[in-house]
Amino acid sequence: MKVYSDIEGMGFSAMRMLMLNEAAEHELPVLQEEANQLRIQSDYGVFGIARRDRNGFRLEVEADGVSNLHVLRDSLVAHISHVQPDVAAQIAWSDTVQSGLRPPNFQFAEIKTTTRLCASFQRVTLTLSKPDGFGDHVIHFRFVLPRLDDSAPEWPTLASNGSTRWPAGAKALHRPVYTARAHRGDEIDVDVFVHAGGRTSEWAVAAAPGTSVALVGPGGGGILDACRVVLAGDETAYPAVSRIIDGLPEGAQGRVILLNHSGQRDYPIPCHDGLTVDWVEPPDFVSTVSAAASDCADGYLWIAAEAGHINALRTSDQILRHPKSQRYVSAYWKRK
Ligand SMILES: Cc1cc2nc3c(=O)[nH]c(=O)nc-3n(C[C@H](O)[C@H](O)[C@H](O)COP(=O)(O)OP(=O)(O)OC[C@H]3O[C@@H](n4cnc5c(N)ncnc54)[C@H](O)[C@@H]3O)c2cc1C
């Protein structure tokens, strides 16, 4: 599907700069970069601009399916809104967005079961009302949680400029990212790390089977197609690491490094003949992962943990030696 919007009041060069910064920050491939044309690839599809006149450009978005198309244009409108809110408010698309509807990537899922998987994890099994899109290539989504004491929550709606209008103030919704640890037809298992002050874990422990929960997605990355790997992460990454291990080819080799804050090492990490698994304490995580990266020069590095550890790893020479296409280094949460 392809849609466009002719934008007035913002120059081609300003938008070009915005998009190139976005591509650099998220390491997105630039497919075409010419004087009057720019096209960039993202996980959701292709977006770009074409010069029209001194004070305008055509914004173009192409994606498979309405959900990916929505995510792309929502994010483009948000970027424009950040620098020129008046321009963003006026955006009209070639397919005319019906304002007031629920965003296409929003759904309610039914809670099938919620059980204590091990000491620090609650497993919630959900039946999705829109399972399309979930698969090995996209394994993450966001829960959309109202306050636990809000008996009449408000849900997001589409604005006519294609963006998602989220309720604010007391009706604001909490939207943490989670991983589909397993996916079977219209069902997913979600393993929630139970930590102090966690709004999601509080919800997951109390959730009643047969009731529903809202979510948006799926989005983000998927499993790996690699034969040599270093997989490293803290508790929040155990579900993704496990799903990646499930998908590795039989002959794959490498190391799994699991940072453990809680002292509990009972999360069920799948066995794989080619992988060695090490549990490490917080002070040893960065040095252990950096050393493993050095020993795996031709392999893929997949690392996800708290922002402090990730910032240290992002500047580590041993990590930077790996080409960008051979590493994923992501902050999964931030200590506040
Ligand atoms: C791509 C991706 C996939 C993820 N998948 C999973 C998953 O499958 N399972 C999972 O459990 N998490 C996962 N996370 C991490 C999760 O989104 C965060 O931990 C999130 O902050 C949890 O929200 P919350 O409602 O529990 O706490 P928040 O309301 O966000 O935060 C409340 C307080 O808890 C603290 N906090 C948040 N996370 C932790 C933690 N892990 N340990 C200690 N304190 C914490 C915060 O600093 C804050 O002080 C994923 C994150 C990303 C980006």
Q: Give the tens place of pLDDT for each residue, 209-261.
A: 999 999 999 998 899 999 999 999 999 999 999 999 999 998 999 999 999 99
* CB contact at 8 A, 9 and 55: yes
Last residue of a domain, one of 167, 202, 219: 219
Q: Compute the distance between CA of residue 181 and CA of residue 305 in angstroms, rounded to an integer.
A: 17
Mutate to test the pocket of ligand 1, among 123, 205, 236, 330 (most ligand atoms within 8 A of CB): 236
- Is residue 96 assigned to a domain? no
- Is residue 98 assigned to a domain? no
**Both 232 and 205 in a single domain?**
no
State the pLDDT at residue 277: 97
Mutate to test the pocket of ligand 1, among 262, 332, 334, 336 (most ligand atoms within 8 A of CB): 332
Rounded average pLDDT over 261-275: 93
- Is residue 239 assigned to a domain? yes
Tokens (6 digits) for 335: 């200590």
Rounded average pLDDT over 309-329: 92
Last residue of a domain, one of 219, 254, 289: 219
- Is residue 302 assigned to a domain? yes
Range of 44's domain?
2-89
Shortest CA distance to 235 belongs to which of 182, 177, 192?
A: 192
Rounded average pLDDT over 2-19: 93
**Both 215 and 193 in a single domain?**
yes
Residue 54 pLDDT > 80: no
Quick check: CB of 146 below 6 Å from ligand 1? no
State the pLDDT at residue 96: 84
Q: Compute the distance between CA of residue 182 and CA of residue 134 in angstroms, rounded to an integer.
A: 10
Quick check: CB of 81 below 6 Å from ligand 1? no
Last residue of a domain, one of 32, 54, 89: 89
Shortest CA distance to 218 belongs to which of 77, 44, 79?
A: 44
Instruction: Write the pLDDT tens digit of every residue in 126-136.
Output: 999 999 889 99
Whole-structure pTM value: 0.94
Element (H, E) at 22: helix 12-25
Q: What CATH number does residue 140 fall under? A: 2.40.30.10
State the pLDDT at residue 214: 98
**Both 49 and 113 in a single domain?**
no
- Is residue 97 assigned to a domain? no
Sign of CA dihedral 125, 129, 134, 135: positive
